[in-house]
Amino acid sequence: MRFDLHVHSVFSKDSYAEHDKILEYAAKNGLDGFAICDHDSIEGGLECARRALEIGSEQIVIPGVEVSSSKGHILVLGVKEKIEPGLSPEETIRIAHEQGAVVVIPHPYKTTSHGIGYLKGLDADAVEVLNSRCMTKGPNNKARKVADELGLPHVGGSDAHEAPMVGRSYAEIDVSERSVEAVLDAIREGRTSAGGRLTPASYVVKQMFAGHLKKAKTRLRRSRRSHRSKNV
C-alpha cells in the first residue's frame, strides 16, 4: 500500500490545505492513506481521521504531528496526546514511544527546514529519505546513506502544505490489513520503501510565500485582538 507520511493541513500555521481537499487529492494521486503531521498540533490529524469516516472515504488517515524538538523536527505517527515542543530529541522520542506511536525523522539533513542534523543514537523507527520539498537531491541522498549505515527503514513524504502536492513522495508499505495499527506495525518492522519525486522548485517557493503570508496575517489578527482588549 502507498502512504504519504508527511502532510500538513490548515491546522499548521503555514498551510492552507483543507481536509476535504487532502482526502480528494490523496485518492486522485493514488494513495491508500496518509499521515497528517501538523506543526506541534495533533488536532488536525484527529479531525481529518474523523472527517474521512464521516464522508465514507477509503483513505486510511494516520493522526500524527511534527514536533519541534530542541534540535529539530520529529514526526510522530499514531499520536494520542500532545507532545510539548522544545524537549530534547531523546525525550520527545521516549514520550512518543510511551504512547505506542511510531517515530520518523523527517528531512534530517535539510537544515533550512529544522532538520535535526543527525541520526546516530536516536531511537527512531524510520527515516524520511525522500522529502519532496527538498530543493536539491543532496539532503535526501545523505539521509538515505546514513539510514542504510544505521540499518533504519526508509519512508517518504511529500511535506505537502497544499493539497495538490499530497502523494508527491510516499512510502510503499507491505501491509494487507487496512488499519492504522497494521501500517504502524509494518513501519516498525521495516516493511517499507520510499518512492516519488521532488516538488518543482517554483511550487515550493509559492508554498513558502503563502505560508509566510498566513503566519503574518495570524500575527496581525492577534495584535489587533490584543490592542482591542487593552482598550476595553
pLDDT range class, residue 227, cuts 50, 70, 90 = very low
CA–CA separation, 1 and 177 (whole Å): 10
Q: What is the pLDDT of residue 14?
A: 87
**Average pLDDT in the chain:** 92
Tens digit of each residue's pLDDT (9 = 90 or more) over 39-95:
999 999 999 999 999 999 999 999 999 999 999 999 999 999 999 999 999 999 999
Q: Domain spanning 2-230: which CATH class is it, in words?
A: alpha beta
Average pLDDT value for residue range 182-190: 98
CA–CA separation, 214 and 76 (whole Å): 24
Per-residue pLDDT for 230 more than 90?
no
- Start-to-end C-alpha separation, the chain: 56
Q: What are phi and psi of 203, to 5 degrees?
A: -75, -40
Contact between 6 and 140 under an 8 Å Cβ cutoff? The reply is no
Instruction: Provide the residue ranges of all domains of the chain, joining segments of one domain with +.
Output: 2-230
Q: Evaluate if pTM is beyond 0.75.
A: yes
CA–CA separation, 144 and 109 (whole Å): 10
Per-residue pLDDT for 213 more than 70?
no
Q: What are phi and psi of 116, to 5 degrees?
A: -75, -25
Q: What is the pLDDT of residue 40?
A: 97
Could you give the percent of the chain with pLDDT greater than 70? Answer: 88
Per-residue pLDDT for 189 more than 80?
yes
Q: Put the strands of the sheet holding 73-77 in their side by side order.
A: 154-157, 126-131, 102-105, 73-77, 60-68, 33-39, 2-7, 169-173, 192-196
Per-residue pLDDT for 108 more than 50?
yes
Range 106-127 burial, b when 16+ CB lie within 10 A, else e:
bbbbbeebbbbeebeebebbbb
Contact between 73 and 92 under an 8 Å Cβ cutoff? The reply is no
Average pLDDT value for residue range 113-126: 96
CA–CA separation, 84 and 25 (whole Å): 31
CA–CA separation, 105 and 107 (whole Å): 7
pLDDT range class, residue 201, cuts 50, 70, 90 = confident
CA–CA separation, 71 and 39 (whole Å): 15
Contact between 128 and 121 under an 8 Å Cβ cutoff? The reply is no
Element containing residue 66 per DSSP (H, E): strand 60-68
Q: What is the pLDDT of residue 132?
A: 95
CA–CA separation, 57 and 186 (whole Å): 22
Q: What is the pLDDT of residue 11?
A: 96
Average pLDDT value for residue range 217-230: 56
